[in-house]
Amino acid sequence: MITLPAHKVRQFGVEFYQTSFTSGDIQKLVKFEVLSYPAKEEGRKRRKTAKTSAINWEMLEKRIGRSEAAFQRPMIRKKIRELVRYYSDCQEAQNLPAIPGAVIMITEKRLNFSPIGKNSNLGMIQIPEEPGVLRCLDGQHRLLALSAHQGKQMDIDVPAVLFDTLDPRQIVELFVTINAKHTRINPSHLISLAGRRLYADPYQALAHDIIRRLNEEDGSPLQGDIKILGVGKGRVSQASLGDEMVDLFSNIEKIGGKGRFKEFEENGKRFFLNYFKAIQTIFPQAWVGRKYSIKTGAALRAFIRVSPDVMARSKELKNDPFDHFGIREAIKPWAERIGEGRFETEGEWRKKLAGGTRGTAELLARELRDAMKVP
């Protein structure tokens, strides 16, 4: 056991501790992890690191776990470099503290707190000396940078706030509150956290699952085109598509009731995969051509916006609205009435971009709806 002096704090029924750890304690007790998907990590390419680098990137990468059960964003190398440089400056000048603000830690183990003296909120806490018993809720980059410098171990005390009573939902809500309000974490990252159902939002959960399948499944027309967690080679933001889908699901339930949404919840992933395959079939040249804007956020949001009309038209044609054939028959008029030229970046697309990307999405959605109507 590691025994530390602590101040117990109560706020609105929640208790936590204010304490401090040595940098050595941090290395032994803290589990570093980031939110990621195993299917993607297998093919992840490691960056080549110069042998002269002041930071031991290889060692740092080995310390960081990746799983769907995590909540932290991927490590930002630029931030680590800046922190290591700052720590070195503090160490050399000896006139500023390197980590004056508390990091926020959580543990799933209930800790033993023993009051000392007359104040029942001051005392000692005991923490099991187990690797990974602590996880970092806020300040993970600051802690990683402590051990990042090649050949140097910084011996400092790190102030910390420690929670041992939070359930998984509270942990994610606290993480989102801290980062959304103050550090402005990328909104795509928040979509993934909500989508993993760690706090209840069925619309965001479904949007997350659909977007992930579109981006990861072999044969998907959008494979690798979406920036999951706000990073990667994709060109389209996960957050913009997620917001559009959430609005869509809300309207489906308002108009069709819970039963209609339940039906879409069960078939939504199949629908959107078949839907974008059908769009690719209707506009084959635009879908793969570099001079087209059909796979931009504005265009994809427009396609999502008209999806209820596509399903309705498919039903009118006596087809399965979630099947590739039924969807393709519903949108077949787009080939002639919209045409691939509509998506040429330097042509019609640019002319209609004057109203901004949101205006472009709504304008294209109206054109798509009109093109499906029976003459």
Can you give the residue ranges of every domain in the chain? 2-183, 206-372
Residue 39: per-residue pLDDT: 41
- Reply yes or no on whether the pLDDT at 44 is more than 50: no
Residue 140: per-residue pLDDT: 83
- Reply yes or no on whether the pLDDT at 148 is more than 90: no
Is residue 299 within 8 A of residue 293, CB to CB? The reply is yes
Query: Collapsing DSSP states into helix, strand and coil, what is residue 374?
Result: coil
Q: Count CB atoms within 10 A of the CB of residue 370.
A: 12
Percent of all residues in the chain with a pLDDT value above 90, rounded to a whole number: 36
Q: Among the listed ranges 18-27, 89-98, 219-228, which one has the minimum average pLDDT value?
A: 89-98
Sign of CA dihedral 326, 328, 331, 333: negative
The pairing of strands 103-106 and 157-163 is: parallel
Q: 116-123 — which CB contacts under 8 Å span 24+ positions?
A: 120/8, 121/7, 121/8, 121/9, 121/10, 122/5, 122/6, 122/7, 122/8, 123/5, 123/6, 123/8
Per residue in 150-203, pLDDT tens?
445 678 899 999 998 887 777 777 776 666 544 555 555 555 555 454 445 788
Residue 58: per-residue pLDDT: 72
Per residue in 270-318, pLDDT tens?
999 999 999 999 999 999 998 999 999 999 999 999 999 999 999 999 9
pTM above 0.75, yes or no: no
Half-sphere exposure of 139 (CA within 13 A, CB side): 21
- Mean pLDDT over 349-372 rounds to 79
Residue 43: per-residue pLDDT: 41
Residue 34: both structure tokens together: 């980031």
Half-sphere exposure of 207 (CA within 13 A, CB side): 28
Residue 212: per-residue pLDDT: 87
